[in-house]
Structure 1
Amino acid sequence: MSATAEPPPTHVRAAFGARGEEVELLEGGLAWRCGGDEGVLLKLAANTAEAAWVARVLDTLAPEEMRLARPLRSTDGRWVVSGWSARRDLVGRPEPRHDEVVAMSLRLHSATGGLEKPRFLDTRRDIYALADRVAWGEEDVVLPEDNGGRLFDVLAGSRRPVTLRSQVVHGDLFGNVLFSGNAPPGLIDFVPFWRPAEWAAAVVVIDALAWGGSDPAIVERWSHLAEWPQVLLRALLFRLALHALHPRAGESSLAGLEHASQTVLELL
């Protein structure tokens, strides 16, 4: 969730074993590749405590049927150097294999189910964290009506209590999963939230409907998940709140969420 137009400084590249390598800004501007394909990827962290936590988790996590972009320690053993973290590059690219991402989400969160809640989640104030709290009714924020706030207000009245167990989940898998032929899907990052695993799967479904070109039947294919209509609604409210708060959100992305809302409304 951090971006930079400035390449990592020389001492950072050297600390992670990428001294003198050519650097290339990846599409989307979220990381720099050092050393070409299968090289080192460097990313500037918005929250160093979160970046170190993510690295520790991905270093030891062993989910089934999944490739992980393993983090790299610096030469002196640190996960973060001058605000930068590093990982190995992972072969593959995003593909519209949405049901496979949902299934991967469930396997991933089976592996993260025993993790303790990291302390930084309670103090995080970025727009992702704020949108999450607003979606679950834990915080009140006036959302710009024309940027998603009006639809948010219409849908929020359909919220009902959710009794599912919260745990550490990845709340932004869409676009963070790479495919390479028949190889297992690869996870390149981890955006932690403290929510039910079913909610994380629902976020994937909402994203697939809104921006991934998925057929509406994806909602029915995963309707066996517990409290599905309500977690799907929370996922949609999360994306609407985030859209309303995001400075670069536009009409085309809102149109996608409006399209997704039509499918969700049929379940409520």
Structure 2
Amino acid sequence: MSEVPQPPVHVRTAFGATEEPELLDASPLWRCGPIAFRPVADPVESAWVAQVLATLEVPRLRIGRPLRSTDGRWVIGGWSAFRFIDGRPEPRHDEVIAASLRLHEATALLERPRFLNGRGDMYSVADRAAWGEEQPELDAEKGGRLFELLAASRRDVALRPQIVHGEGFGTVLFSGDADPGIVELTPYWRPPEWAAAVAAVDALSWGGADPGILERWAHLPEWPQALLRALLFRLAVNAMHPHATPDSLRGLENSAHEIGKLL
């Protein structure tokens, strides 16, 4: 296994970290005492996320607040920093969805950032494909065939798009009886029901959740269609991902079977 690069000394110094870096379980995150670091792929997006999380207040949710460097920047040398909070992902799937909905009540009034317009990464392409806004080439053997079959069941929905965190599964942190915590936000301009559905599909596909998780959140508006688009999103990612495995597709096929009962 290749070594995970750690934040350089000048980056740690710029954010006021004085302790030696320790690789966290959620690599490639590093902790230096009360400060944690993560590598940044898009400085513009990361700076926007940091500004949002620095002041966002969400009931019953702990937030690892982003930190500015000594010269006021959110990103230095390809790294961002935030206050370390205790916790790790746990299979508390319904609590993840509940935390997602609380988070999105708080983000409902945020304006759509311009950087979303030109985002061309695999996940953004898969998101647009799931909503019928783009038609990328999908590997039939890795999920593309099932995508095409299920896409025919899409119907128009009357859901309001807003800023949502599209990767709730595996990023909500738990520490005993403390409130759930988050240290990141992967922004999409989609309805909060879709973000909740993505967490449900992920939990059912790969997290060991019981199929009842779909029924427990069926009171959410347009839930079957939100689940369908969440499943299409993950199928498109799987079909394009260079490291997709038969197991990852098998999990999505199982979710497709359960979601099909609701359509």
TM-score normalised by the chain length of structure 2:
0.96
Counterpart amino acid of residue 198 in structure 1:
E
Counterpart amino acid of residue 27 in structure 1:
D
For 2:117, what is the secondary structure of its paired residue?
Answer: helix
Whether 2:58 is the aligned partner of 1:63: answer: yes
Report the counterpart of residue 228 of structure 2 in structure 1.
Answer: 233
The within-5 A match list for 1:1-268 is 5-19=4-18, 21-35=19-33, 39-268=34-263
**More displaced, 5-14 or 168-177?**
5-14
In structure 1, distance between residues paired with 2:64 and 2:77: 21
Unaligned runs of 5+ in 1: none
Give 1:26 shift.
2.7
For 1:261, what is the secondary structure of its paired residue?
Answer: helix
For 1:62, what is the secondary structure of its paired residue?
Answer: coil
- Aligned residue pair count: 261
- How big is each residue's C-alpha offset from its partner over 1:91-150, in whole Å with a ceiling of 9 and x where there is no partner? 011111111111111111000000000110111111111110011110011101111111
Counterpart amino acid of residue 235 in structure 2:
L
Give 1:43 shift.
1.2
TM-score normalised by the chain length of structure 1:
0.95
For 1:223, what is the secondary structure of its paired residue?
Answer: coil
Give 1:255 shift.
1.1
Give 1:24 shift.
2.5
Give 1:25 shift.
2.7
- How big is each residue's C-alpha offset from its partner over 1:209-234, in whole Å with a ceiling of 9 and x where there is no partner? 00111110111111011011101000
For 1:169, what is the secondary structure of its paired residue?
Answer: strand
- How big is each residue's C-alpha offset from its partner over 1:234-254, in whole Å with a ceiling of 9 and x where there is no partner? 000001111111122211111
Give 1:30 shift.
2.6
CA pair 247-28 structure 1, distance change in 2 beyond 3 A: farther
In structure 2, distance between residues paired with 1:88 and 1:246: 32
Give 1:154 shift.
1.1
Q: How high is the sequence identity, in percent, across the aligned residues?
A: 60
In structure 1, distance between residues paired with 2:148 and 2:209: 25
Counterpart amino acid of residue 84 in structure 2:
D
CA pair 28-186 structure 1, distance change in 2 beyond 3 A: closer
In structure 1, distance between residues paired with 2:222 and 2:93: 20
Give 1:55 shift.
0.4
Counterpart amino acid of residue 174 in structure 2:
F
Question: Pairwise CA RMSD of aligned residues?
Answer: 1.2
4+ aligned runs moved over 2 Å, structure 1: 24-30
Give 1:34 shift.
2.0
Give 1:44 shift.
1.3
Give 1:5 shift.
2.7
Unaligned runs of 5+ in 2: none
Give 1:28 shift.
4.7
